[in-house]
């Protein structure tokens, strides 16, 4: 029998089920009630997603926890809780690592979780996820009645059901359910597209637009700075479409020499050019019935743009060296980090092709406009590196979180991903043994205005590196396009010096084809400078 104080606490939560509330507020009230009534330091609601558990709401855990995806096979405590038939408490002296080690907020020095319990959350007759409770002190949860945990887990399941019903998930049409089944079947054969992580208004707006245009056949032009995740957006658009069970074929237009672009796109017949020893289908035919993703579409030569325009208009193409018409049914998603409207005005991009591509323009916001999403994304990358490096826990201390929030991220999400991976290795450098919990500090990041990286991890209990107000302010930078162009000019000049002004060798050093390097050098205005550009 549930105690009277527990019943009194559950009544307002049950009443909330009939009220119109934001989803986040429903979950917040539920977890706050758990914290208030049960002696735990942290509580989390996790959704089951394939072989992972994804935090949906947390209380008492660091914000980056919301960006992590906990693989069940790598976290045995979560596996035990999922396998239990009801609420379960794991023994305080269990040697199994806890997924929240180092993530409980307000804890200095004592980072490991020593007491935890949880219960499967069911929606309908199926397991939906987990409700977990954790305490840093041993035996803190020993007096908790398992029936109380079950009551909160049941209420969590009811809350999730209400949220799903409010979102219309229970009222989807049969064809939409079939499309989801097809996509899940496809995901068993191929890896599912990465999840777009974030809670900021800018990111929510992006997700709404993806949901809006994803289920159509409109051509989408994905625009955004380098490193914002344009390819992930293209994958999300494909996954949300009626073509999700069909191929998604990608082509990086900047990685191909001009002489091969047409063959890659449209295919060729035997003998079409030197080296064409057999017929070959192009990307359009490979993507028939599905989606073709044209990355860096701003790099396409003008002549190829004209031929692409014909395919976009009528779905007809000819393989290189053939007069035979082929008809394809392909949805095109293009991406660029250039201002194509400006490229059109400069005569470097066809106006008719631009308008055909930008039927639905979709702008991916830069990371600096997404607020605390940087911590969620960092949490995702921390969990990936924790698994890769075989660590018990990889966490951020307060100075590291402040440094990440202060940085302006000219390289966006890709810069953050590389920074976390690099910093994790720096933190481990010089250690004879790997500690169970590794804390990253601001010093490990080597961001502008931060102290140099130490060659060791922060020991448990050590004071975090302080970040002063002056240090937290990034240095003034030129606009992204100018700094990127300047960096590219310098890299090209250095490569030419290293290769004794051999353009082919310089292209190999830079990982480019010679023709693409020459085109890039011309665009950057290197004509008339020290380096003579071949014609």
Which of 65, 407, 63, 361 lies closest to 233 in space, CA to CA?
A: 361
pLDDT tens for each residue of the chain, 535 residues long? 555 565 566 666 666 666 777 888 888 888 988 988 898 999 999 999 999 999 999 999 999 999 999 999 999 999 999 999 899 999 888 889 899 998 998 766 557 878 899 999 999 889 999 999 999 888 889 889 999 999 999 999 988 888 887 766 444 443 444 444 444 434 433 445 568 999 999 999 999 999 999 999 999 999 999 999 999 999 999 999 999 999 999 999 888 777 788 788 888 777 667 776 677 888 988 999 999 999 999 999 898 898 888 888 888 887 877 778 888 899 999 999 999 999 999 999 999 999 999 999 999 999 999 999 999 999 999 999 999 999 999 999 999 999 999 999 999 999 999 999 999 999 988 677 888 889 999 999 988 766 554 444 444 444 444 444 444 444 455 566 677 777 788 888 878 877 777 787 787 778 777 777 887 887 777 754 445 666 5
Query: How far is the CA of 162 from the CAs of 1, 11, 123, 351, 439, in angstroms?
Result: 26, 16, 10, 48, 39
Query: How far is the CA of 223 from the CAs of 341, 360, 427, 483, in angstroms?
Result: 12, 11, 36, 19
Residue 278 confidence (pLDDT):
79
The DSSP letter of residue 215 is T
At 222, which helix (H) or strand (E)? strand 220-223
3-state secondary structure of 69: coil
At 29, which helix (H) or strand (E)? helix 23-37
Q: d(Cα 66, Cα 44) in Å, to the nearest integer? A: 10
pTM: 0.76
């Amino acid at each position: 029998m549930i105690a009277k104080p527990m019943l009194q606490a559950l009544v307002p939560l049950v009443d909330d089920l009939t009220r119109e509330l934001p989803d986040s507020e429903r979950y917040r009230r539920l977890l706050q009630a758990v914290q208030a009534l049960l002696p735990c330091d942290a509580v989390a609601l996790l959704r089951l997603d394939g072989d992972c558990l994804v935090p949906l709401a947390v209380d008492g855990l660091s914000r980056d926890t919301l960006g992590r995806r906990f693989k069940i096979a790598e976290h045995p405590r979560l596996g035990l809780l999922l396998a239990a038939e009801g609420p379960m408490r794991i023994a305080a002296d269990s040697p199994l690592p806890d997924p929240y080690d180092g993530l409980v907020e307000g804890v200095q020095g004592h980072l490991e979780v020593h007491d935890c319990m949880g219960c499967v959350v069911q929606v309908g007759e199926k397991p939906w996820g987990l409700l977990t409770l954790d305490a840093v002190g041993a035996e803190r949860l020993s007096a908790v009645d398992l029936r109380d945990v079950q009551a909160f887990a049941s209420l969590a399941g009811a809350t999730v059901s209400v949220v799903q019903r409010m979102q219309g998930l229970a009222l989807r049409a049969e064809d939409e359910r079939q499309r989801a089944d097809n996509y899940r079947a496809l995901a068993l054969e191929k890896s599912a597209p990465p999840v777009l992580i974030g809670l900021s208004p800018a990111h929510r707006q992006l997700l709404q637009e993806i949901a809006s245009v994803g289920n159509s056949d409109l051509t989408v032009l994905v625009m955004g700075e380098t490193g914002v995740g344009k390819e992930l957006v293209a994958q999300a658009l494909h996954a949300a479409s009626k073509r999700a069970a069909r191929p998604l074929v990608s082509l990086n237009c900047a990685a191909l020499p001009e002489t091969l672009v047409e063959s890659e796109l449209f295919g060729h017949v035997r003998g079409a050019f030197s080296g064409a020893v057999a017929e070959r289908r192009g990307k359009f035919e490979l993507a028939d019935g599905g989606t073709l993703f044209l990355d860096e579409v701003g790099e396409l030569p003008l002549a190829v743009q004209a031929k692409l325009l014909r395919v976009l208009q009528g779905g007809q193409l000819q393989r290189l060296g053939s007069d035979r018409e082929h008809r394809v049914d392909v949805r095109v998603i293009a991406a660029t980090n250039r201002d194509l409207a400006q490229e059109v005005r400069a005569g470097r991009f066809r106006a008719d092709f631009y308008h055909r591509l930008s039927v639905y323009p979709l702008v991916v916001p830069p990371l600096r406009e997404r607020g605390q999403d940087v911590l969620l994304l960092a949490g995702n990358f921390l969990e990936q590196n924790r698994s890769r490096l075989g660590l018990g826990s990889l966490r951020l201390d307060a100075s590291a979180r402040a440094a990440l929030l202060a940085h302006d991220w000219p390289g966006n999400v890709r810069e953050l991903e590389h920074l976390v991976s690099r910093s994790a290795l720096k933190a481990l450098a010089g250690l004879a043994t790997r500690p169970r919990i590794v804390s990253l500090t601001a010093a490990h990041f080597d961001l502008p205005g931060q102290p140099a990286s130490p060659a060791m991890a922060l020991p448990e209990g050590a004071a975090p590196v302080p970040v002063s107000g002056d240090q937290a302010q990034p240095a003034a930078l030129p606009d992204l396009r100018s700094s990127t162009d300047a960096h590219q000019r310098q890299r090209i000049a250095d490569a030419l010096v290293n290769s004794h002004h051999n353009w082919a060798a310089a292209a190999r050093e830079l990982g480019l084809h010679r023709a693409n390097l020459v085109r890039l050098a011309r665009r950057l205005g290197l004509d008339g400078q020290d380096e003579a550009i071949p014609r």
